[in-house]
Structures are given as structure tokens and as C-alpha cells.
Structure 1
Amino acid sequence: MKVAIHQPHYFPWLGYLNKMSNVDKFILLDDVQLTDSSNMFRNQLLTLNGSQKYITIPFIKNGYMQKSYNQLEINPLIDWQKLHSNFIKENYRKAPFFNEVWEKIKIIFEKKYFLLSDVTIDTILLLKDIFNISTEILMQSKLEYPSDSKKNQLVLDLCIAVKSNYYLSGKGAKKYMELNPFTEKGIVVEFQNFNMAEYPQFSNKNQFIPGLSVLDMLFNIGIDESIVIFNKQK
């Protein structure tokens, strides 16, 4: 049984969904600390002039390093949903498939949220449905494993917890991942091999900009064509 493990991301990029679609079970790390440099609370889209810009969910930072990701509260003093929806409308309303995609995602900006993890996980589940991904989603916080597990050992223990014999890792982990403990437990480790396919970006007349939230792709080429590209890269 194949498994992949990842932190929840806010409207993740296509490579994230590719990883999810190539396994039987996808474990979301909702019981770890937030990483400031990650997309666990933000992601990038394009402005009308073709420049990259983060849209960020504000969370209460007081003591956040002592809390798990699934305990982090959204800052109620900032109307992030209005800010994000306005940004998307201002910069993508002229995109070829804006209306089609907006109807699918606007619920994220209408629903009441209190926890950061609830937002990011909802965006992942929404995209999972759009791309017809059948993979089972599991929450780290719902699994039984040694509570002191960290880093490499945490990944191994989560694989053991779900009785997986195959772990699909991000290719960036090649630099530091210790493979021997997995081999000793009979778990095969493979590294994701994904290269972002180029597509037209209506606001960008220069070189293609990869790595953006998959929303950019959806707005530019639509759901059907995005699914075609997605399925070709599995």
C-alpha cells in the first residue's frame, strides 16, 4: 500500500496534487509545528502585471511555536477572506475561465473559519474533488504512533501506523532522508519525479512562471484542460 505525507498547504500547486494522486493514502501533517517558510498559511498567484504575490492567511502568532498546526487560530481582526477574494477578482477576472473556477472555490471565502488548518485542509479537499483524485486522506492527529517521533522517524512511524510498504517522498528530501530505517522495516522509498507543464498565463507575457497555486492554472486554461494535463503527468 502506497502512502505519501505532507503538511497542509493553502490552495497548493499541481505537484502537491500529483503526489497525492500517485498513492493510496495521503497523510496530512496537522499535528506538527508551522514552518514559516512553507505554504502552510499562504501561496503565490500572479498580479495583472505578471508579478508573483503571496496571499497569506493571518494567524495569531503569540506562542505559535509552542502549538501544533491544528491549534493555530486565525487572526479575527483581519478580514483575510475579503482580501483574498478581492485580490483574485482584481487580478484574474479577465482570465479565460474565471467564472467557471470562481463558482467552485468561492465557498472558501464565504465559510466561517476559526482555525488555520481548517482552511488549508478545505482547499486541499476542494482541489482533490476538482481533479477527481480518489486517494484517501488521513490526518496525522488521528493516527497512533510514538508521540516523541520527529523528522525522519516521524515519517517512518506514520508509514508503519498505516501499514504501508511504499513511501512516496518529495524529491527535495533526497538530500537528507535516511533510507536504511525504511529498508529495515521493508518499506520501499521512491522520490517524486514531477516537472510542471507550461500553460498560457494571460497576465504574463514573458517566461512561464512555475510553482504557483494551481488556481493560476485553473483560471487560465479551465478545469477540463487542467485535468487533461494533470492526468498526463501521473
Structure 2
Amino acid sequence: MNIIIHPTYFPNIAHFVSMVNAKEIVFETDDNFLKQTYRNRTYIYGANGKLALNIPVIHSQKNRQKYRDVKIFNEEKWQSLHWKSLLSAYRTSPFFEYYEDELLPLFNTKADYILDFNFKCLEAIYNCLQLELNTTKSEVYEKTVEDKTDFRHLVNAKKESPQRFDNYTQVFGSKHGFIPNLSILDLLFNEGPNALNYLESQTITAQ
């Protein structure tokens, strides 16, 4: 299966299931930036339940702004806040310390553009999972694609994916129950090297 999908901030389980089971991946990079999407948001499992981590961005005065041109608003100390949130949520998880050194540089090195930063996050996850994917980037925006399965709808953070994936152990699962389709970080910190086996065993269908 060849797919087209958005590069997002530490993609959720649905994103990664579609990616690891694809033969070729085209990342959509020529679309317009929209609010309320996973382009600059991810969800983790905090002590009080589902927690959103949002990257603040600088919105253009124009109605439309290309995803690739959107800058991060670094006046807010979001990187420090996100790392503290991850520490609070996952430092007692089985594999947080195992991946900490790989991920920490993403939170103490300034990032300028949201798209570039998302690709850096993806590279870090590939390294953690020891994953090699066949990826390219789109050059023009096509509303309808003919030769690829379109998973771009998964970018919408307001519309929860109808896909159901197998449960795995989560740090606060005994407190709030299983929360599905969180950031890949939740799976990574809880399942460690088994995370890739988990992703490969799941299935997802396009809308």
C-alpha cells in the first residue's frame, strides 16, 4: 500500500499504524496550515488523564499560509513545558529512561518552523524504533490522489479516528482506564522495543 499522510507533532497511533504498514509514504508538505489539527498538537496520558501538548505558532495575517512556511512562536517556553509534562507523565514508565537521551535534544534546541521540527521528531522516533521507511515529500497539493491511499484526514484533531487498536499497559491505566490513539510517545515509553511489533500487528483502513 502506498499512502499520503501529514507529518505531525509526534504522530498518534493511527498515523504510525498506517505508516509502518505502507510500502511507500508521501508526506503532504504543500497544503495550507489549519488550526485544530495534529500539525502542532499531540496528546499524552497525564496523571489526570488525556493531556494536549500544543506548539504555539505565528499565524499570518493572510487567510492562507502554507504549512511549510509557518513559524513557531518561541516567546512561549513551550519546549520546557512539554518536556516537564513528559517527565511528569512517563518518568515511571518502563522505557522512559531508555529513550530519554534520544528525545531530549528536541526540547532544548530552538526550532523555527513547525514542519521542519515535526520531521526532526519523526526522525527521532524512527531511531528509537529502529525503523526504516520509504518516504518522500509532496511537491504540489492535490485534493484527490489516484495512486495512493489518502490518510490526510487523520490530521484533524477534532475528529477522533473510528479505528480501534489493541490495548497495551499505560502508566495511569489503573486510574483512568485505557486511552486509545495517543502520541507514539505513549506507546514507546510503555512498550519499548515491542512498540514496533504492536504497530505492525494493527490494521487501519482509509475513510
TM-score class, shorter-chain normalisation, is: 0.7 to 0.9
Distance 2:78 2:7 in 1: 18
Shift of 1:194: 5.9
SS of the residue 1:86 aligns to: helix
Q: Kindly indicate whether the alpha-carbon contact (under 8 Å) linking 2:20 and 2:200 is maintained by their aligned counterparts in 1.
A: no
Q: Deviations over 1:74-102 (max 9, x none)?
A: 11211211111111112221222221122
Distance 1:130 1:195 in 2: 24
TM-score, L = length of structure 1: 0.74
* Residue in structure 2 matching 1:55, options 45, 53, 56: 53
Q: Which has the higher contact order (CA 8 A, sep 6+)?
A: 2
What is the aligned partner in structure 1 of residue 28 from structure 2?
A: 29
The reply to whether residue 168 of structure 1 matches residue 166 of structure 2 is: no
Shift of 1:11: 0.4
- The residue identity in structure 1 corresponding to 2:198 is I
Shift of 1:59: 0.5
Distance 2:7 2:189 in 1: 22
SS of the residue 2:37 aligns to: coil
Shift of 1:151: 1.8
Alignment of 1:1-234 (within 5 A): 2-49=1-48, 51-63=49-61, 65-140=63-138, 143=139, 150-152=142-144, 155-156=145-146, 159=147, 167-170=148-151, 195-205=164-174, 206-222=176-192, 224-233=193-202
Shift of 1:5: 0.7
TM-score, L = length of structure 2: 0.83
Shift of 1:40: 0.4
The number of equivalent residue pairs is 195
Q: Which runs of 5+ in 2 are unaligned?
A: 155-161
| Closer, same or farther: CA 197–69 of 1 in aligned 2, 3 Å | same
- The residue identity in structure 1 corresponding to 2:195 is S
Q: Deviations over 1:14-44 (max 9, x none)?
A: 2212212222321111121122222000110
Q: Deviations over 1:30-81 (max 9, x none)?
A: 12112222200011011113x1111011110132642100000111211211
Q: Kindly indicate whether the alpha-carbon contact (under 8 Å) linking 1:10 and 1:40 is maintained by their aligned counterparts in 2.
A: yes
Distance 2:118 2:143 in 1: 22
Q: Deviations over 1:94-144 (max 9, x none)?
A: 22222112222112112221101111111122223333333222121xx3x
SS of the residue 2:30 aligns to: coil
Q: Which is greater in Rg?
A: 1
What is the aligned partner in structure 2 of residue 164 from structure 1?
A: none
Shift of 1:211: 1.0
Q: Kindly indicate whether the alpha-carbon contact (under 8 Å) linking 1:34 and 1:65 is maintained by their aligned counterparts in 2.
A: no
Distance 2:117 2:45 in 1: 21
| Closer, same or farther: CA 131–96 of 1 in aligned 2, 3 Å | closer
